[in-house]
Amino acid sequence: MAAVGLALALRGALPTGAAAVTVRCRSGLWTRLPPPPPRRSAAHFSFQPDPAPTEYGETQKMNLFQSITSALDNALAKDPTAVIFGEDVAFGGVFRCTVGLRDKYGKDRVFNTPLCEQGIVGFGIGIAVTGATAIAEIQFADYIFPAFDQIVNEAAKYRYRSGDLFNCGNLTIRAPWGCVGHGALYHSQSPEAFFAHCPGIKIVIPRSPLQAKGLLLSCIEDKNPCIFFEPKILYRAAVEQVPVDPYYIPLSQAEVLQTGSDVTLVAWGTQVHVIKEVAAMAQEKLGVSCEVIDLRTILPWDTETICKSVVKTGRLLISHEAPLTGGFASEISSTVQEECFLNLEAPISRVCGYDTPFPHIFEPFYIPDKWKCYDAVLKMINY
C-alpha cells in the first residue's frame, strides 16, 4: 500500500503531458508509472477578437472585466449622481470589475452592502426614483433570485403603477453569468429567461470586451431598468482592443457577425463563440453557409433581424446554456414559426442545456458545445 501511495503521489506531482517514469518504492521494487492524464480545459470555445474599432478614438488592450471597469469609470466621471454598490465592490469585487473605483471616486459613491440581494435591488430602486443613477452588482447571477420580487414587481412596474409620475429607469443591475468550467449548480446558471417574461425591464448579454463596454454604458444611460449579465468565463479569457473614451452600442439590435445562405445560427454571450466555430465547421465539412447572429439584447429582442435572416436561409438553430424547457430559445422559435412558417425548410432546432441542475464534473456533457450544434445543423440540412 505504501508503494501504491508513493506512486500516486509522484504521479500527481508530474506535470501534465509528462512521459511515463520509473520509480523505486520503499520496498525496493521498481514501479513504472503511466503518464498523467491530460488536464481537461475548462473552455469549450475559442475566443476570436473583433477587429479594433476606429470610430471611437484611442483604444487599449483590455479583457472583459477591465472593459467593465472602464465603462463604470466613464459613467462615474460623467454623472456626479452615479453610485456603485453591492457585495465587496468597494474592494474591487470578486472578479475585480470595480477595482480602484472607490479610491478614485470616494466611499460615498462606491460602497459595500450587506449580503442581501433583495436589499441591494430595493436600495437601487430607491436611489433611482430620486433621479440618481444606481448601478447595483449581484455577485453571481445565481443569487439574483432573492431580488426577483423587487425586480419584477417593483422595478419593472414602477413607471406603469404611477402613471409615469415616477420611475426607476436609472437602475442598472450587473451580474456575472453563465458557465465557467468549475462553477457547478450555484455559480453557473443563466437565468435570463426568468426575467424575459416581465415587461418593463431590459436584459442585455455581451459576447466580448468591446461589446460589453458599449452595451453597459447604453444600459446605464437607458431610461428603463436594465439587467446586464456578464459571461464570467470571458472575464479573463476574452481580450480585445477597447476604446478608452465612452461609446454606446444600441440596445435591442442584434448583430449579424457572418452572412450566410443555408442556416441561421443565433446565440448570445459565450455561446456566440461556439456557433462561430460551428459555422466554420459546417462550411468546411458540409459546404453549408451559415449566418451567425449575436442577439445581444434578450428583452426587447430584435425580431426583425432574426426573421429577415430566416426568410433568406429557411433554417434556424438557437443555442444557449440555460435549460431547454422554457429557455429563451423557445420564444424565438415560436415567433419565427409564426412569422416565417412558409419560409422554413426544416424544423427549428434548439441546442441548449439539459433540464437538470447545472452539474460540476459533468459540465462538459451538459453544455451545448460545437459538436451538438454541428449535429443539429447536419440534421436540418438532411431533413
- pLDDT tens track for 48-62: 999 999 999 999 999
Alpha-helix residue ranges (DSSP H) falling in the chain: 2-13, 64-78, 101-105, 117-129, 148-149, 158-161, 192-196, 209-221, 234-237, 271-286, 303-313, 328-340, 363-366, 370-381
The span from the CA of 248 to the CA of 75, in Å, is 12
Place of cell 404611477: 162
pLDDT at position 323 is 98
Q: Are 257 and 265 in contact (CB under 8 A)?
A: no
The span from the CA of 19 to the CA of 186, in Å, is 37
Q: Are 110 and 75 in contact (CB under 8 A)?
A: no
The span from the CA of 17 to the CA of 266, in Å, is 37
pLDDT at position 27 is 55
pLDDT at position 26 is 52
For the segment 345-349, the average pLDDT, to the nearest whole number, is 98
Compute CA distances 164 → 129, 149, 169, 365, 373, whole Å: 12, 20, 11, 48, 45
Q: Are 63 and 209 in contact (CB under 8 A)?
A: yes
Binned at pLDDT 50, 70 and 90, residue 9 comes out as: very low
Binned at pLDDT 50, 70 and 90, residue 2 comes out as: very low
For the segment 142-149, the average pLDDT, to the nearest whole number, is 98
pLDDT at position 43 is 75
Residue 192, C-beta contacts closer than 8 angstroms, at least 6 positions apart: 177, 203, 205, 227, 229, 298, 322, 328
For the segment 256-262, the average pLDDT, to the nearest whole number, is 98
> Which residues are marked as active site?
117, 187
Which residue, 268, 208, 206, is CA-closest to 237? 208
The span from the CA of 298 to the CA of 42, in Å, is 26
Cβ neighbours around 244 below 10 Å, total: 15
Cell of 122: 430595493
pLDDT at position 32 is 67
3-class SS at 197? coil
The span from the CA of 287 to the CA of 281, in Å, is 9
Binned at pLDDT 50, 70 and 90, residue 241 comes out as: very high
Average model confidence (pLDDT) for the chain? 92
- CA 318-173-237 angle, to 5 degrees, is 60
pLDDT at 311 over 90: yes
Which residue, 287, 290, 133, 313, is CA-closest to 223? 133
pLDDT at position 42 is 53
When mean pLDDT is compared across 42-56, 139-153, 306-320, the lowest value belongs to 42-56
Pairing state between β 171-177 and 83-86: unpaired
pLDDT at position 172 is 98
pLDDT at position 221 is 98
DSSP 203-241: EE--SSHHHHHHHHHHHHHSSS-EEEEEETTHHHH-EEE
**AA identity, residue 157:** K
